[in-house]
């Protein structure tokens, strides 16, 4: 008993000491000197700060784009020898007038093995027929340009007083580029500056604050309890982990099992000249000082960046092929970018995971904006990692979901998959010792190290370990953060010990992510929980990922079945289901569209049901029958009676286009370091703040993902068109005019458009190896004018900016356009603004009075209201300087209820000067290549035939007369991995320290336990540990004191001792 209590005291004292020390480290006195160090991190680490004892210079990183002249990557359909690849290319292109061509020599370890690509260099060719000839060859799969990206560092010596929120560098207009981490690799992850020669282009965008990072625990491995697995005998042994980065020194003191270092660059060195590759490798596998998670793992170093921070696509492709050849188990990739259409790279990532390589990648540092996920972390088969700080809050820099590459198909996917510590993490220094870095490129190796450690615990089980099973274990065991939503944290915070418990008992199976749909659970299920559903509304779409741990390929057999729960009003829900015909590699999608039946048009309440499906994969390892997994997807929604028409707003998503594939510029021309419009223009991405404001104001916002001919205008009060780049079908123009005459109101937020300015902001695109001109401006003004022409309205092509006020409210007009044509009798409001277009073209500053920026009009008492405003930046969170949600609400009072606010009615009315010519489309633009409306013909592109309106196939209901589970999270949490058994931690001989953010003895989760009990809430643990320690110490003191004061008893004979035992167990024994 005494030894156990002593053991308990040691454990509690250790826990209390660690927790209190962290709390003390987190506290700072008013006189404390807190300083900022901006470290260098690859992969878009926009801002990295640590605590320091002295003022250090601010590091500024910028991109400068270059290209490799006439070099192209030829992708083959299989792996061929170098001679075969040469013969195929020679046979294809010798038929055209190419005077000289050659194969670029690749001197790296993979050059001696068959490959599936070749780098082709062309010179002195007269036409581009060679490209068609190459693509016509049966062995050629794809041709892409060779790309080069370089990052540059600039040091700005600036001393400033830093507080909790750190402002940008003083004395110079500054925006995001002050913190940009511009990593130039073959990946198109950059934010390339606009090619403007005018000195006007100094950034004056919003000053994004940066929160000072707190003090950190001694070891990242201790915070995540890696010592639990170490004490069980696991340390990464037998696992091959690859680090794709800047290299590693040969005799670095922190590493003992570096199996191979390979150089894929054109520099003749294997060493790390920057320090980032050393840091990443240290987090994964360091053996000294700042410990890594898997010190006994076999470390493979791939140097894919030069000391000048340059990389090429071909270097990555060769390195990826070599990783497959070496049978790498885990690969960390701390790079990424918005270009999900980089086919050679993405295809190779799929091939890697199909060959059982577990890839871990950073989701990017473009937070807190939504819709900023980076590729390849946004792929289904990759573990996408977000960052949190040591207070278990989502790091501000961490990118947010949803995936935007799937928006044209309906809705994006949930990402990140998991989050972990990425702020102020300690890792190996360049020549030894430890350093501190921040960013999702730091969180990524934390997960990669944890995955390596977990893999070593189950590597002997053979087919249990694969990219899907590892991802399933991480997600099923993750600890949900209480204040973050699903697009911020994914499944939650990495829990290494729980992941080990699940993986140790894993049976190959399929699973769903998210594992349930609950429109009533906020904040976690945001945005699904942000608005109830009702009859007649646009269907809510949830894009569910299917993870298939049974095999690299699989399929859904039969069809998914919809089962409404009869006792829970499931008959009021209608569901449509679409899914991947093939699950490969390791994954697929399940798209669920949910709407309300006609019977519930006036009903309100909670309705529930579930979808069941069966996933099948081929038999493995001598099995006779295919593997099958039966899945259930619970659905719970909140239904309300259909709101009145005046409260319903329809958001036009169909006519928004984004990068990639085309060059669609930012709406604010001041944002020179972020020229691409790549966030999706969705109410749940960069228009999220506007959407929340409308919801809080009592409006209901629905998304239109199809042409105007496919919605019933009688159901909606206002059609909201913002930042539209797409063209319009003639039938749409006709229908909108008719809808307005019948009472539909329309509100248009436009953006800049000027052909001369568009030519000025050319952009070098490395996919086509050409200088691109924007195919539109911020908005497609000529297309909008076609839409508004029947109403007698049009925008001009001047570009304006400046601050202005209406009543007591102020906002910023950022690179907007002016109204050029408006019906007589309408209300037109003007302001004095700076002519930004004139300044861009001439370099001269010019102010213009009475610029018509806002127009309000109603044709007749029976018609709807029309509002035109020349700028959308004030409702777009991408580079929001001064929001104008107050103006939006004023305008909705006018369009939805016919009430003209006093602030607007008191404005002086201005008249428009006559206009000779409206803006025209730029000659030779390529919008038809990316448009859903235009078709490419000889000469001028023409509209395509109007497509039929999509109609969902509603699933036939098979009702269940049983009660639904009351807690979907807890229900699915227990069932997410089947046949696991009780979650009981097998403790080692010495109980390891628990992290300060974890509970104690919470491995077993009773079925009736509320899911909120699993949320991380560590505030009470220091107090509990302290009082527990005091109680145990008091017990020991009393026990020892009693022993000292108790009189000594004489030892009796053995017979007496036997007699006392008899008395104890059988009662009093008579003496003889």
DSSP 549: T
Closest alpha carbon to 402 in 377, 375, 373? 373
DSSP 185: S
All residues at 6 or more sequence positions from 331 whose CB lies less than 8 Å from its CB, including other chains: 241, 242, 244, 323, 352, 357, 358, 359, 360, 448
745 neighbors 787 (Cβ within 8 angstroms): no
57 neighbors 187 (Cβ within 8 angstroms): no
All residues at 6 or more sequence positions from 837 whose CB lies less than 8 Å from its CB, including other chains: 752, 754, 756, 757, 797, 798, 799, 800
Q: From CA 933, how far away is CA 881, in angstroms rounded?
A: 33
Active-site hit among 193, 208, 423, 441: 441
- Continuous segment of H or E residues that includes residue 456: helix 440-458
579 neighbors 545 (Cβ within 8 angstroms): no
| Residue whose tokens read 């960046």 | 305
Q: From CA 745, how far away is CA 868, in angstroms rounded?
A: 11
User: Pairing state of beta strands 510-513 and 517-518?
Assistant: unpaired
Residue 886 tokens, joined:
């107050």
| Count of H-run helices and E-run strands, the chain | 22, 41
- Give first-to-last CA distance, the chain, whole Å: 36
Closest alpha carbon to 987 in 271, 268, 225, 363? 225
Active-site hit among 116, 227, 245, 871: 245
Q: From CA 440, how far away is CA 384, in angstroms rounded?
A: 10
CA atoms within 13 A on the CB side of 543: 22
Active-site hit among 39, 276, 500, 928: 276
How many C-beta atoms lie closer than 10 Å to residue 82's C-beta? 15
User: Pairing state of beta strands 383-388 and 358-362?
Assistant: parallel
How many C-beta atoms lie closer than 10 Å to residue 81's C-beta? 11
User: Pairing state of beta strands 510-513 and 240-245?
Assistant: unpaired
How many C-beta atoms lie closer than 10 Å to residue 1049's C-beta? 6
651 neighbors 617 (Cβ within 8 angstroms): no
323 neighbors 331 (Cβ within 8 angstroms): yes
Residue 446 tokens, joined:
């934390």
245 classed as catalytic: yes
Q: From CA 86, how far away is CA 829, in angstroms rounded?
A: 67
Q: From CA 763, how far away is CA 926, in angstroms rounded?
A: 14
The dihedrals phi and psi of 945, each to the nearest 5 degrees, come to: -60, 140
646 classed as catalytic: no
Residue 20 tokens, joined:
């209190």
Q: From CA 42, how far away is CA 27, in angstroms rounded?
A: 31
276 classed as catalytic: yes
863 neighbors 743 (Cβ within 8 angstroms): yes
Q: Which residues are catalytic?
A: 245, 276, 441
């Amino acid at each position: 008993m005494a030894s156990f209590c002593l053991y308990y005291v040691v454990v509690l004292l250790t826990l209390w000491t660690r927790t209190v020390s962290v709390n003390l480290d987190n506290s700072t006195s008013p006189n404390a000197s807190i300083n900022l160090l901006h470290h260098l991190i690859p992969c878009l680490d926009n801002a990295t700060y640590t605590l320091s004892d002295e003022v250090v210079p601010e590091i500024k990183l910028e991109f400068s784009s270059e290209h490799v002249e006439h070099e192209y990557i030829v992708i083959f359909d299989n792996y061929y020898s170098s001679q075969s690849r040469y013969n195929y290319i020679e046979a294809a292109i010798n038929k055209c007038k190419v005077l000289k061509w050659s194969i670029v020599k690749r001197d790296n370890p993979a050059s001696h093995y068959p490959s599936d690509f070749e780098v082709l260099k062309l010179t002195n060719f007269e036409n581009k027929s060679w490209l068609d000839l190459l693509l016509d060859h049966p062995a050629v799969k794809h041709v892409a340009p060779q790309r080069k990206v370089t990052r540059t560092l600039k040091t700005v010596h600036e001393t400033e007083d830093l507080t909790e929120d750190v402002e940008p560098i003083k004395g110079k207009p500054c925006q995001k580029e002050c913190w940009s981490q511009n990593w130039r690799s073959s990946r198109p992850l950059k934010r390339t500056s606009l090619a403007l020669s005018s000195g006007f282009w100094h950034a004056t965008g919003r000053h994004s604050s940066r929160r000072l990072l707190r003090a950190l625990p001694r070891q990242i491995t201790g915070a995540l309890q890696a010592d639990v697995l170490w004490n069980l005998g696991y340390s990464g042994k037998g696992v091959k982990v690859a680090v794709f980065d800047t290299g590693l020194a040969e005799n670095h003191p922190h590493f003992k099992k570096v199996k191979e270092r390979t150089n894929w660059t054109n520099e003749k060195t294997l060493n790390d000249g920057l320090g980032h590759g050393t840091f990443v490798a240290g987090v994964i596998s360091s053996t000294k000082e700042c410990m890594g998670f898997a010190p006994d793992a076999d470390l493979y170093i791939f140097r894919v960046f030069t000391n000048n921070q340059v990389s090429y696509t071909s270097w990555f492709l060769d390195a990826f092929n070599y990783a497959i050849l070496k049978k790498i188990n885990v690969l960390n990739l701390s790079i990424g970018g918005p270009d999900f259409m980089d086919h050679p790279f993405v295809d190779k990532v799929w091939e890697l995971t199909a060959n059982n390589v577990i890839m871990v990648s950073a989701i990017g540092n473009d937070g807190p904006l939504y819709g900023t996920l980076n590729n390849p972390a946004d792929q289904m088969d990759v573990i996408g990692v977000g960052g949190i700080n040591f207070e278990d809050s989502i790091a501000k820099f961490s990118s947010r979901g949803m995936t935007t590459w799937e928006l044209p198909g309906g809705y994006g996917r949930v990402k990140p998959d998991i989050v972990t510590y990425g702020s102020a993490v300690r890792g190996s220094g360049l020549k030894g010792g430890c350093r501190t870095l921040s960013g999702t490129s730091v969180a990524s190796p934390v997960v990669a190290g944890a995955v390596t450690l977990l893999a070593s615990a189950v590597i002997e089980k053979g087919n249990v370990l694969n990219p899907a099973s590892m991802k399933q274990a991480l997600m099923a065991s993750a600890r949900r953060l209480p204040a973050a939503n699903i697009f911020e944290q994914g499944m939650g915070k990495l829990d290494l010990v729980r992941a080990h418990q699940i993986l140790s008992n894993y049976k190959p199976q399929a699973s769903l992510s998210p594992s349930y749909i609950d429109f009533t659970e906020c904040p976690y299920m945001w945005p699904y929980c942000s608005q109830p559903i009702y009859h007649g509304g646009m269907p809510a779409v949830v894009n569910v990922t299917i993870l298939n741990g049974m095999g690299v390929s699989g399929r859904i057999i039969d069809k998914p079945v919809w089962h409404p729960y009869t006792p829970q009003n499931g008959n009021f829900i209608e569901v449509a289901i679409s899914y991947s015909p093939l699950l490969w590699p390791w994954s697929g999608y399940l798209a669920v569209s949910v709407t309300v039946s006609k019977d519930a048009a006036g009903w309100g309440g909670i309705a529930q049901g579930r979808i069941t499906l069966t996933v099948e994969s081929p038999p493995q390892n001598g099995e006779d029958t295919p593997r099958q997994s039966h899945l259930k997807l619970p659905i719970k929604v909140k239904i309300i009676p259909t709101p009145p028409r005046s409260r319903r707003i329809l958001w036009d998503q169909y006519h928004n286009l984004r990068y990639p594939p085309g060059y669609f510029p930012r709406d604010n021309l001041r944002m020179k370091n972020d020229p691409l419009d790549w966030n999706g223009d969705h109410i749940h991405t960069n228009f999220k703040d506007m959407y929340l404001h409308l919801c809080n104001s009592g409006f209901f916002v629905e998304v239109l993902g199809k042409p105007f001919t496919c919605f019933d205008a009688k159901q909606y009060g206002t059609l909201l068109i913002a930042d539209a780049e797409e063209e319009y079908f003639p039938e749409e123009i006709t229908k909108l005019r008719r809808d307005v005459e019948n009472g539909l109101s329309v509100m248009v937020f436009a953006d800049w458009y000027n052909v001369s300015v568009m030519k000025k902001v050319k952009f070098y695109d490395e996919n086509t190896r050409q200088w691109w001109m924007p195919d539109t401006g911020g908005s497609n003004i000529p297309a909008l004018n076609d839409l508004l022409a029947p109403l007698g309205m049009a925008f001009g092509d001047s570009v304006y900016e400046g601050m202005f006020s209406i009543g007591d409210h102020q906002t910023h007009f950022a690179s907007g356009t002016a109204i050029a044509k408006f019906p007589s009798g309408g209300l037109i409001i003007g302001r004095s603004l700076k002519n930004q277009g004139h300044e861009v073209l001439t370099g001269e500053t010019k102010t213009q009075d009475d610029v018509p920026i806002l127009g309000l009009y109603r044709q007749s008492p029976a018609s709807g209201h029309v509002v035109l405003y020349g700028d959308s930046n004030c409702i777009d969170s991408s580079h929001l300087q001064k929001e104008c949600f107050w103006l939006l609400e004023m305008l909705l009072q006018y369009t939805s209820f016919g009430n003209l606010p006093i602030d607007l009615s008191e404005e002086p009315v201005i008249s428009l000067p006559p206009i000779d010519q409206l803006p025209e489309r730029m000659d030779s633009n390529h919008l038809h290549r990316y448009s859903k409306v235009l078709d490419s013909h000889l000469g001028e592109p023409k509209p395509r035939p109007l497509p039929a309106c999509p109609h969902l196939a509603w699933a036939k209901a098979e009702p269940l007369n049983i009660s639904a589970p009351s807690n979907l999270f807890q229900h699915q949490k227990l069932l997410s991995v089947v046949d696991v058994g009780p979650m009981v931690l097998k403790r080692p001989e010495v109980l390891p320290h628990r992290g300060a953010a974890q509970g104690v003895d919470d491995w077993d989760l009773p079925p009736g336990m509320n899911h909120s009990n699993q949320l991380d809430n560590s505030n009470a643990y220091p107090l509990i540990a302290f009082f527990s320690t005091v109680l145990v110490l008091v017990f020991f003191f009393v026990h020892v004191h009693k022993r000292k004061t108790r009189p000594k008893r004489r030892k009796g004979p053995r017979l007496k001792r036997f007699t006392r035992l008899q008395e104890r167990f059988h009662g009093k024994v008579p003496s003889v």
